[in-house]
Structure formats: C-alpha cells, structure tokens
A and B are shown apart, each in its own frame.
Chain A
Amino acid sequence: MMCRTGQQQEPHEADEAESSRGAFAALLEDSAEELYENAPCGYLSTLMDGTIAKINATLLGWLGLDREAVVGRMRFTDLLTVGGRLYHETHFAPMLQMQGEISGIALEIKQSGGGRIPVLVSSSVKHGSTGEPLLIRTTVFDARQRRAYEEELLRGRKAAEEARRQSEADRARLQDALAVLQQSLLPDILPVLPGVETAASYHTASPDRLGGDFYDVFPLDGKRFGFFLGDVCGKGPQAAAVTSLTRYTLRTAALHDPDPVTALTTLNKVLHERYAAGSGDPRYCTVVFGTLEPDPDTGQVAVRIASGGHPPAIVTRADGTADFLPTPGGLLVGVLPSAQFTAATTTLAPGDTLLLYTDGITEARTGPDRTSLYGDQALLSFASDHAGKPASALIEALTALLQRFGDGLDDDTALLALGAPTAGHRTRSSR
C-alpha cells in the first residue's frame, strides 16, 4: 500500500525521528554560551561608565588580550585607537546617550601586538524595570575585508580621476596647439599703416574647427603695402595646411614682385604643383590680392587688386555710395596648371573704404531652406548704408549683421576693410 507509510509511521522510524530531534535540541542548548563566546563577531557589555563587565572570546582573540586583564580593568575606549577614542567621545557616546542605541559606526581597535583592526560597532543601552540605564551591550564586526574593498574602490576612483585629469590636460594642450596654429593663419593684429585705416574680423561658424578663410596686411617696401583675403575649399587641418601655404606663398611672391596678377600666378603654380599634379586630393582657393599706395600729400590711396575666383570687392565712397570693384573671369587658384587672373584698380579718396569679404556672409541663409541666401546685392546695399564711415565702423556693423544671422551662418566669414582716412581721423588700425 503506497499510502500507509504516510498515515502511520513504523515504530522504528518514529524512534529515529525522536532521537534526531533530541540531538538538534541538545546542539542548540549547548550553543547559547558557546555562540556568545565564539560567535563570528565580538561581544562586550560595559557599565554605564564604560568599564568592561563581560567580553567574548572572539573579541579577546582579535585584541590578543586575556580576560583577566580586561574585565573590570579596562574601559571600552581603552580598546580603541586614539582617533577612535576621540570619535567615541565626541559622537558615539553622546549619540548613544541620546538615542539609546547606535549602529554601524566605523572605528579601529588596537591589538596587543601593535596592529589595528577596522571594525563596525553597534551598541544599545539595557534599561532596568524602572527605566534607569543599566549597561551597554556592544557588538563588534571585523571590517578588514570591507575596508580592503573600500580602499580598492577608492584606489579605482583615484585612478579614474587621474585618467580624467590626464585626458583634460591632453585636451587643453591640443586646444593650445590648435590656437597657435590658427594664429599662424591670421595676423594677430593688423600692422599700423601710415595713411590707411585697416580693420578686420573673422567669424567662425564652428569654433572647434580650423577655418579655411584667411587675410593678411603687410608692408612691401617704403611706400607700398600688400594685402589679401581668401577662402580655401574645405575645412579642418587639411584646409589649414593649404591656408598656411597660401599665406606664406603670397607674402613671399609679393616681396619679389608686388604686381597682383604675378603674385596670384605664382600662388596658382605652387598650389597646383603641390596639390593637383598627380595628387588624389586637389585643393584650391579663391583669393583677392592687392597693393595699397598711400599718397601723403593728397590723403588718397591707390589700389591695385587681382582676383582668382573670389567674389568682387566693394568700395564705399565718402559721398554715401557703394559699388563692386569687378574682377570678372579670374579662376579659382590651383585648379589648372596655368590660369588667368583679372586685375582692377581704383583710388580711395579720404572717406572711401575698400571692403573684402568671403562668401560666408553672402551665402548666409536668411530663410528656412538652403536657397534663400543673403546675397551680394543685399551686402552691397548694407555697405552703402554705412558708406562714408571709417573702416572700423563698417567692420563693426558687419560683425553685428553676422551675429544676427545666427544659425543661418554655415561657413566661416572673413572681413577686411581698408580705408583712406578723412583729414579728421589720424591713422589707426583695429581688429
């Protein structure tokens, strides 16, 4: 019968169960004192003044002390390190007095051999029947493993912080290097030219990318000055390398022969030879190059320019008008082994200003789609509104205009204004 065993136990089976229950109970009864003495944590009881009244073998073992040396002779604080004692007096004891219990406090106990063990301490006050405090019961947990783990965490955090500091330092160094390189692409300040007022501005569409626009103003000989402004195709380090090559080629070429068409022809040869011939990475730029020759007697400035694929310069006149200075037919520089460049000349009378710009401003989006652009006619009309003002005032007005474009400005914009000052204005430069 399958169910019989479950309904009624056989006599010998009942005996076995009985004896096993007895053994279990005996084990439990036996362990009350045994558990106190050899529990995996330390126990101690102290009088209200801290005198140790009772302490278990586990804790004595950790301390390396004999029971006789401790009970009735030492206080709980005698077991602690100096720091632990201080903390006990200032925090532990007052909290315990106020709340009647305190738990999980990290302290350190001294070993007789001179070592110290990090522990977690919990205490509670035992009260008598009338509520008066009788004694303090304390448990002490060995926190060595836990402390080691915490130190490991701390070490890990320190390593992570160190790595972060290092990467921030690297980043700062890289930004410094970029800033130095960027400065080598543009003049730090424009030189002061006798008889010419100069002003420039560079507006980056994305601050962390090296731009592809450039300009420069520099002396050629005793009486003439060279200037240029342009735009290299592309952005980033590759474009910056082209910009650098372009800037120093133009400066050097102009020292040999300041004729604008000759300077651009030299630049075209250099760029084409470097980037186009056989290279899979053709690079080119648009640029206006020119010379200024101020006449100290009349206050007029003679201007000769040539353009390679660059939008036409604008001349604002003292009488409040503005016009393009057309240079049609000039080709992008660096595209063909030999290219045609178009020259133009004008004379700036006092109060007139020559404005050079890159297409970042004329191609700025003024509408929701990519075809509503600011345009060259709008720029011309804006310039004529500011005609007759000094070069610096024109650049300031254009800079404010660029800021109004906001997100509509997709590309970097460089602006350079060169003016013949009116008699009232002394020669000055600003950027």
Chain B
Amino acid sequence: MSPLKITTGYAATGPVLKVLGELDYDNAPELSELVPTIPLRPGQCLVLDLGGMVFCDSSGLSALIAAHRHTQAARADIALAAVPAHTLRILRIVGLDQIFPIHPDTASATAP
C-alpha cells in the first residue's frame, strides 16, 4: 500500500495540490481537511494534480466533491489535471466530469 502524500505549490492561477498515492477510505479525509486550510482568493483556481494518484474509491470522490464545494463557497474555481484513466472512467460514470474542468496536465490547467 502506498500511503497518501499531498504537496502544495502555487501557480499564477492559484494553488496547485499534487496528490500522490491512494485516495481511499483511510486517506481521503486528509485531502478534505487540507483543502480548507489552503489560502484561496475569489477568482483563483485550485488545481488538483492527480498524476501520481494510484487509487481512488468513492471516499476519494467524496473528497473531490468536498473540495469542489469549498472552492464554490470561496467564489473560486477548481480543476483536475492528469486524471488517471481508471478514475476518469469513474468520473464519467458518476457525471462528475461535468462539474470538474479536466486538463491533461498541470501546465495546461494553470495556463493563464
């Protein structure tokens, strides 16, 4: 099992969180608890780079939805980058691809 690791960076568009490892029942709350502590100004975009995420279950989806809700409340945007194929398939099934802008990588997600 690879535990969850989240690194925080900043781009011109706003904060960028890189999610590495497994976003599952045990680890997903880490992301949910971290997001509200990230400074986010109205109009900025929080980018979640999922390129290093090896697993995501329904708890992981819940964490993504919680992040979406948080950015909405902050009048900011959210975007996903480098979503792994398996997770992308699930996002499509549950319709979340309609509420999350999805980018191939962080560079395009943070392009001004």
Contacts and interface: CB of A to CB of B under 8 A. Distances in A.
Interface of A: 233-234, 276, 282, 284, 286, 308-311, 328-332, 335-336, 339-340, 359, 363, 370-371, 373
Interface in B85-100: 86, 92-96, 98-99
B58 A336 contact: no
Given A308-B95, A331-B95, A332-B95, A371 B55 contact: yes
B65 interface: yes
A309 B54 contact: no
Give 9 closest A-B pairs by Cβ, nearest first: A331-B95, A309-B94, A332-B94, A309-B95, A233-B58, A370-B55, A330-B95, A311-B93, A233-B62
Interface residues of B, number: 19
Most buried by A among B54, B66, B86, B95: B95
A371 B94 contact: no
Contacts of A339: 95
B24 to A, nearest CB: 8
A332 B58 CA distance: 11
Tell me whether chain A's interface is mostly helix, strand or loop, or mixed: loop
A375 to B, nearest CB: 10
Given A370-B55, A371-B54, A371-B55, A282 B65 contact: yes
Nearest to B85: A371
A233 B61 contact: yes
B41 interface: no
B75 interface: no
A282 B58 CA distance: 13
Contacts of B92: 328
Contacts of B61: 233, 332
B99 A309 contact: no
A311 B94 CA distance: 8
Given A233-B61, A371-B54, A282 B66 contact: yes
Given A276-B69, A371-B86, A329 B95 contact: yes
A335 B86 contact: no
Contacts of B69: 276, 282
B93 A282 contact: no
A234 B98 CA distance: 22
Contacts of A308: 95
Interface string B66-108: 1001000000000000000010000011111011000000000
Contacts of A309: 93-96
Nearest to B95: A331
A406 B98 CA distance: 35
B103 to A, nearest CB: 20
Given A233-B58, A276-B69, A282-B66, A336 B99 contact: yes
A168 to B, nearest CB: 31
Nearest to A370: B55
Nearest to A276: B69
Contacts of A335: 65, 96, 99
A233 B59 CA distance: 7
B94 A331 contact: yes
17 contacts: A233-B61, A233-B62, A234-B62, A282-B65, A286-B93, A286-B94, A308-B95, A309-B93, A309-B96, A329-B95, A330-B95, A332-B61, A332-B65, A335-B96, A336-B99, A359-B93, A370-B54
Contacts of B58: 233-234
Contacts of A330: 95
Given A282-B65, A329-B95, A331-B95, 4 more contacts: A309-B94, A311-B93, A335-B99, A373-B86
Nearest to B61: A233
Interface string B25-67: 0000000000000000000000000000011011101100110
B77 to A, nearest CB: 15
Contacts of B55: 370-371
Contacts of A370: 22, 54-55
Contacts of A276: 69
A51 B67 CA distance: 96
Contacts of A371: 54-55, 86
B52 to A, nearest CB: 14
A363 B90 CA distance: 10
A328 B98 CA distance: 11
A239 B54 CA distance: 26
Contacts of B57: 363
